[in-house]
Amino acid sequence: MKRAVIIGATSGIGQEIASVLLAQGWRVGIAGRRYEALEAFRKLHPDRIEVQEIDVTKEDAPEKLSRLIEQLGGMELFLLSSGIGHQNIDLIPEIEINTVRTNVEGFTRMVDAAFHYFAEQGGGHLAVISSIAGTKGLGVASAYSATKRFQNTYIDALEQLAYMQKLNLCFTDIRPGFVATNLLNDGKNYPMLMNPHKVARIAVKALNRKKRVVVIDWRYRILVFFWKLIPDWLWKRLPIMTASR
């Protein structure tokens, strides 16, 4: 029975991916900040789910990850699905800094811990949920888009490092567009909003195939393709992602 650990599984994409993996026969370790939500989900499959309360911004997070892996009996797949993001055109410092703390500091802390575990075990699959927002700098969500670009680049770097060290690791960077989760429950209108269960099914299909990068869904693949073609002088003049209340 294959074993996966998902960080950020109290709700949203992370929990939906856990559900799909469970349906495929996996054992799953789930973690997040809200223990009650984790425990409620565990009751659906108490014999195949282990839980651990983990806050990725805390220094004890890697230790708790190790504890969860031990409870699960090992780990073949690690998926980091935790993250925050806000539209913040006023550049309120607390919002920007908290975004960096979770999406950069917390991200680095957890993927490094997973990398070290797989290196010691002789192999594994390290996956993250990032975003298409990392494609370009978005003025209405500066910290969010910048931290997602960081995540994309960091996984690129870890893949190269694994190759340099002759480690049997594979990497998957899952980049969804707008998904109807609590992350976007801010009273604003978002275009092309996707169902989290549909996103999870596409993500798991990509994980099973060990795809390196997957953009979800086809509409966002087209969007990202054209975003990349826009020159910097024109990009700065475009009101990208302006959403009304």
Is 15 within the bounds of a domain? yes
Of the candidates 185, 195, 241, the one whose C-alpha atom is nearest the C-alpha of residue 216 is 195
Is 244 within the bounds of a domain? no
Q: What pTM, to 2 d.p., does this model score?
A: 0.92
Along the 245 residues of the chain, how does pLDDT read in single tens digits?
799 999 999 988 999 999 999 999 999 999 999 999 999 999 999 999 999 999 999 999 999 999 999 999 999 999 999 999 888 999 999 999 999 999 999 999 999 999 999 999 999 999 999 999 999 999 989 999 999 999 999 999 999 999 999 999 999 999 998 887 665 555 566 667 788 899 999 999 999 999 999 999 899 999 999 999 999 999 988 876 544 32
* Cα 31 from Cα 50, distance rounded (Å): 9
pLDDT of residue 127: 98
pLDDT of residue 245: 29
Is 190 within the bounds of a domain? yes
pLDDT of residue 186: 57
Strand order in the sheet with 3-7: 49-53, 27-32, 3-7, 77-80, 124-129, 169-176, 213-216
pLDDT of residue 177: 87
pLDDT of residue 27: 97
Tally the domains of the chain.
1
pLDDT of residue 244: 35
Is 53 within the bounds of a domain? yes
Please report, for the domain that includes residue 152, its CATH number: 3.40.50.720
* Cα 93 from Cα 106, distance rounded (Å): 18
Is 35 within the bounds of a domain? yes
Whether the CB-CB separation of 64 and 52 falls below 8 Å is answered with yes
Q: Residue 22 is part of which domain span?
A: 3-235
Contacts of 217 (CB under 8 A, 6+ apart): 176, 177, 194, 198, 199, 202
Report phi then psi at 225, rounded to 5. -55, -45
* CB atoms closer than 10 angstroms to residue 83: 25
Is 242 within the bounds of a domain? no
H helices of 6-135, in order, are: 12-23, 35-42, 61-72, 93-100, 107-121
pLDDT of residue 188: 60
Dihedral of alpha carbons 71, 73, 75, 79, sign: negative
pLDDT of residue 242: 45
Secondary structure element (H or E) that encloses residue 229, with its range: helix 218-229
Dihedral of alpha carbons 185, 53, 201, 197, sign: negative
Residue 112, preceding peptide bond in cis (omega within 30° of 0): no
Whether the CB-CB separation of 141 and 88 falls below 8 Å is answered with yes
Secondary structure element (H or E) that encloses residue 150, with its range: helix 142-164
Of the candidates 61, 52, 62, 57, the one whose C-alpha atom is nearest the C-alpha of residue 29 is 52
Is 241 within the bounds of a domain? no
